[in-house]
Amino acid sequence: MSKTAKILHLETSTEICSIAISASQQIVGEATEMSGFAHSAKGTLMIQECLQQAGLHVSDLDAVSISEGPGSYTGLRVGFAMAKGLCFAHDLALICIPTLQALAYGALKENKDAIITPMLDARRMEVYAESFDANMQSVSSLEALVLDENSVAERYYKNERNIFIGDGAHKISDWLRPEKDEILGTLCHASYQMDMAAEMYLKKEFRDIAYSRPLYLKPPNITVSKKKLLP
């Protein structure tokens, strides 16, 4: 396969809706909506905007990469629905990118001397977290982690330097070590999928369109109505 693959990248795992298109491993179109869970309302329009920027039609694409989770239950479902619809309709390959790995890639380019830990909000003091070294190798398992003094010390104080990123990183602020730990404002963005998606495309690491599903990591928080139901 050629390295000139044209890939549409979708990032909907948090309240940010981010779309990008890469060709020859360069970003040729991108659009981001920060207003909060605009995925279903604006996602399709943003894809069209990116195609126009790139001077492409959907039929010109080779694959769609999707941020597979963990993250927002609703956001992930919307993202997968868009990705599957495009792949089915236009015979495109589907590539699934681990959300936290893509987010870590966004910060590692400028921070090679630290362990990078993406954290996504998972309600209360819980985050979805995983840590990566300078070679993008995972050095701590992906999990839904409840942050407290003990869990932070056990998991992160063994590292000489930590950088925390993502929309849940602020939750660890009370336990940062001076001059050793830092929170950066790096958030999820579709363009961070580019290099991983290109490599997976070359290796033909595609997912079955019909059976692929998001990585939720834990069940959604569904509130049951307290109203009395009719018999």
- Return d(Cα 182, Cα 22) in angstroms, integer: 31
Mean pLDDT over 26-47 rounds to 89
Closest CA to 158 of 134, 137, 184, 140: 140
Dump strand ranges (E) for 105-215.
Answer: 115-121, 126-132, 138-146, 162-165, 181-183
CB-CB contact of 100 with 142 (8 Å): yes
Q: At what angle do helices 73-90 and 39-54 cross, to 10 degrees?
A: 50
Q: Check whether 229 has a pLDDT greater than 60.
A: no
Averaged pLDDT for residues 137-151:
96
The domains located in the chain, with CATH, are: 6-99+188-202 (3.30.420.40), 100-183 (3.30.420.40)
- Residue 231 confidence (pLDDT) above 60: no
Q: How far is CA 33 from CA 15, 19, 100, 103, in A?
A: 9, 9, 20, 17
Give me the pLDDT at residue 51, please.
98
Give the chain's mean pLDDT. 92
User: Model confidence over 67-90: pLDDT tens digits?
Assistant: 999 999 999 999 999 999 999 999
* Residue 93 DSSP one-character state: E
Residue 2 has pLDDT above 50, yes or no: no
The model's pTM:
0.91
Give residue-wise pLDDT tens across range 105-120: 989 877 888 999 999 9
